[in-house]
Structure 1
């Protein structure tokens, strides 16, 4: 709009100089129609050139990654200490919040006791295998002795050297010994199966107890929240005495990271016809009136929410008059790629110079950008 008004102003000044100031031509209805027709086409062509060869938008913002600080505690827990304040800069690993660890320390102690018991039981299972083998050896010895006695008395009874009752007794003892051997062998298998019940090479009971210890240790560690990386705390809502955990799902603060910020500007889709990564960009931020920042196109986000159909039980509705979605262009600034000086959400205008249409098109857009930047000294008018 600013460029269009400038063009109209210069054209009107030119017409005034021609027809009134120097009176090179005499103004009449015919010249009025011609002047209007020429001016309209000049303005139309200039606007088309500017829109496609130097796309421009006033919808640009500094984007910073944010992390929602949300306690991960399974039971209602009281917040004991808050170590950060609103808008405070923190470093990775700095302590932010401390919750009451009493319950989770007790759960960890219980889990560690269960682990010690499971480890002891694992040793007992190994000893049970040894005892089962000993019992098996004893049963086999009894079986062998009973078998020898049966053979001995089987030879003596026909000769009259022993009574049949004695042979019958040893046959009964042999049968009992054989049953004891079978039982001892089954006990050995049961003891060995108990020992072989392992997960990743560790006794199953010990592995289960260790997982409980790990879980208890995890939740105990979660009672202290540390800064995940360098950044700043925004919207610090927590106070000592706050109860979290259980059914609470909301965050207690927003953490704005220092790393990997970028400037994101949205453009109408048709204006990006000639835009490619690496092309020069000028950015005018509202928080720095009168300044122009140079940068380059990093990427074009060729997609909007209108191109996504969310799975649901209803047939999609397509509205013919629905406004088109704008595509976002990610921009990196040359003087400060890390955007250290720019807070999240800083608003501004951006212009991309594709190189087409000639230098005069770029000059007009540069004038437009500088007018926008200087107007920020007085707009908005809320003195």
Structure 2
């Protein structure tokens, strides 16, 4: 009997049914309220999100960029010293590597010898007999003597006291003396021409000027054997640079990344450019550093789409052309100093505030 179910009075059952009947209308009202309120809240949330998104343009097709210079030697030769290592920060003018100097030192010695020969030639020509006019004076004396002898032979010929052979010999001597005068004058003109000074290099003999230019070129090539950094930055890609390697002029041997030229290249859809202008504020988030947000501004909008600057631009003059939304590169200047290292090529997300 103790384990039998308890028996409740009949009044309690009647009260529970009354409460249930009273609760039913309240539940119907609550259900109707929720049916109305929940869609309203959802619509309000969507509207708030939409309104908050107005005035901003975002893209995750963005990358960190830094100016980069490929360094090559201006002269060829064997690498004898390496001063810079991969990852090392350098300043403009710092030596990066050294090319063998010996061949270029020999070229300087040869150029100096050529300059000495040119100067000696000028000195010899300045003191030559052709330039002094001594041969011209002697030729004129010979002409005077031959003319005097011819005059005597002509007078004797008129009187019949000489032979025709002597007369012709005296006349030939006059002509020969005149030819010698012309030859001496030509030699003097040639000597003066060799010592002439052109308008391009006034006050200096052309031969000497050419030898000096050759010497200057040899000295320049010697200085170029020390390859120096063209700008401040970080050395990279030095795996091609090895001791004893043969360097060919104009072939890149390493790269220098300018750390103070960081910017972001964001590729926006062409439909997003209507309200975008240079100077508008930008927020940059870097994928590699979650939670890091950098302030910046739109520096410039590209002059063409990415496809226009590709190696093989798309050819759309066909009947089966499909219109594709193009991307335009936008340069974003970073205004904040990042506490984390910005590496060229890192992915980023960019949000432009077009209301400002």
TM-score using structure 1 length: 0.70
Q: How many residues align?
A: 324
Tell me whether 1:241 sits opposite 2:241 in the alignment: no
Task: Indicate which of 44, 50, 74 corresponds to 1:46.
Answer: 50
The 1:134–1:290 alpha-carbon spacing in structure 2 relative to 1, beyond 3 Å, is same
The 1:118–1:321 alpha-carbon spacing in structure 2 relative to 1, beyond 3 Å, is farther
1:298-335 deviation line (CA, Å, top 9, x unaligned)? 111131353359899xx956572475442111122333
Q: How does 1:328-347 map to 2 (within 5 A)?
A: 328-336=329-337, 342-347=342-347
* 1:276 equivalent in structure 2: 277
Q: Secondary structure at the residue paired with 2:332?
A: strand
The 1:24–1:193 alpha-carbon spacing in structure 2 relative to 1, beyond 3 Å, is farther
* 2:58 equivalent in structure 1: 56
Instruction: Tell me the distance in 1 between the aligned counterparts of 2:280 and 2:99.
Output: 50
The 1:63–1:127 alpha-carbon spacing in structure 2 relative to 1, beyond 3 Å, is farther
* 1:72 equivalent in structure 2: 74
Instruction: Tell me the distance in 2 between the aligned counterparts of 1:87 and 1:21.
Output: 72
User: Is contact 1:293-1:335 (8 Å) kept?
Assistant: yes
Instruction: Tell me the distance in 2 between the aligned counterparts of 1:251 and 1:192.
Output: 50
User: Is contact 2:130-2:184 (8 Å) kept?
Assistant: no
CA shift for structure 1 position 24: 5.0
Q: How does 1:250-289 map to 2 (within 5 A)?
A: 250-289=251-290
CA shift for structure 1 position 21: 11
CA shift for structure 1 position 176: 0.7
User: Is contact 1:132-1:184 (8 Å) kept?
Assistant: no
Q: How does 1:75-154 map to 2 (within 5 A)?
A: 77-128=77-128, 130-131=130-131, 133-154=133-154
User: Is contact 1:299-1:330 (8 Å) kept?
Assistant: yes
Instruction: Tell me the distance in 1 between the aligned counterparts of 2:292 and 2:133.
Output: 89
TM-score using structure 2 length: 0.75
Q: Secondary structure at the residue paired with 1:55?
A: strand
1:39-85 deviation line (CA, Å, top 9, x unaligned)? 59x57x939x84x73111122233221111222334xx221111111
CA shift for structure 1 position 220: 2.0
User: Is contact 2:104-2:218 (8 Å) kept?
Assistant: yes
Gaps in structure 1 of 5+ consecutive residues? 1-18, 357-383
Larger radius of gyration: 2
Instruction: Tell me the distance in 2 between the aligned counterparts of 1:231 and 1:199.
Output: 46
Q: Secondary structure at the residue paired with 1:217?
A: helix
The 1:322–1:119 alpha-carbon spacing in structure 2 relative to 1, beyond 3 Å, is farther
Instruction: Tell me the distance in 2 between the aligned counterparts of 1:122 and 1:68.
Output: 46
The 1:269–1:156 alpha-carbon spacing in structure 2 relative to 1, beyond 3 Å, is same
